[in-house]
């Protein structure tokens, strides 16, 4: 593994809660952060327009609105997350084919176990998947 995703524990908790809420459908969303900071700071849960247990897709109009909002705020999508609800938290061939944000951390949460979550992070660039560590920080301690 090389590279690391540093992310606030409150954001991770909110992502897991979103994934649990939408289970058994896949949940998806974005965590925006200031351009160039590599720090995810603003959680934006997105609708899964596919409403499927095995597929997710951002609604194209919601995506346009959110991407413009990030542009206006000088933000970029630092994390793009989604859940797998019956399989491991590893990018599927579909995930790899669609991965269109080379600068983003692709965070996967598996909710297949009811009492624990598997959370893993990857870079996906030109079809190549590289797993990275997740450094979960507690902002209340840092502040």
Partner 1 sequence: MAIEVRIPTILRSYTGGAKIVEGAGDSLTALIDDLDAKHNGLKGRLITPEGGLHKFVNIYVNDEDVRFLGALDAKLSDGDSITILPAVAGGALGFVAAAALLGR
Among 38, 47, 101, 132, binds partner 1 (CB under 8 A): 101
Q: Are strands 28-34 and 42-46 parallel, antiparallel or unpaired?
A: antiparallel
* Interface with partner 1, residue 120, by CB under 8 A: no
- Report d(CA 143, CA 141) in Å as an integer: 6
Query: Do the Cβ atoms of 83 and 23 come closer than 8 Å?
Result: yes
* Interface with partner 1, residue 80, by CB under 8 A: yes
Q: Which stretch binds partner 1 (CB under 8 A): 10-18, 45-53, 114-122, 128-136?
A: 45-53
Residue whose CB is less far from partner 1, 100 or 143? 100
**Shortest distance, position 129 Cβ to partner 1, whole Å:** 12
* Cβ neighbours for 117, distance < 8 A, ≥ 6 positions apart: 16, 19, 109, 110, 111
Rounded to the nearest 5°, which phi and psi values hold at 69? -60, -40
**Shortest distance, position 78 Cβ to partner 1, whole Å:** 12
Counted residue by residue, the chain has a size of 143
Residues found near partner 1 in the complex (CB under 8 A): 26, 28, 30, 46, 50, 52-58, 60-61, 63-64, 67, 80, 82, 84-87, 91-95, 97-103
């Amino acid at each position: 593994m090389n590279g690391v995703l540093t992310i606030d524990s409150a954001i991770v908790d909110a992502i897991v809660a979103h994934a649990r809420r939408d289970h058994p459908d896949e949940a998806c969303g974005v965590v925006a952060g200031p351009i160039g900071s590599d720090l995810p700071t603003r959680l934006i849960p997105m609708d899964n327009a596919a409403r499927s247990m095995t597929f997710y897709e951002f609604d194209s109009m919601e995506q346009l609105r959110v991407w413009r909002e990030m542009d206006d705020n000088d933000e970029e999508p630092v994390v793009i997350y989604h859940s797998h609800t019956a399989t491991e938290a590893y990018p599927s061939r579909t995930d790899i084919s669609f991965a269109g944000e080379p600068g983003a951390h692709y965070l996967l949460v598996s909710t297949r176990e009811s009492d624990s979550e598997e959370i893993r992070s990857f870079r996906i660039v030109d079809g190549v998947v590289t797993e990275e560590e997740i450094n979960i920080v507690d902002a209340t301690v840092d502040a």
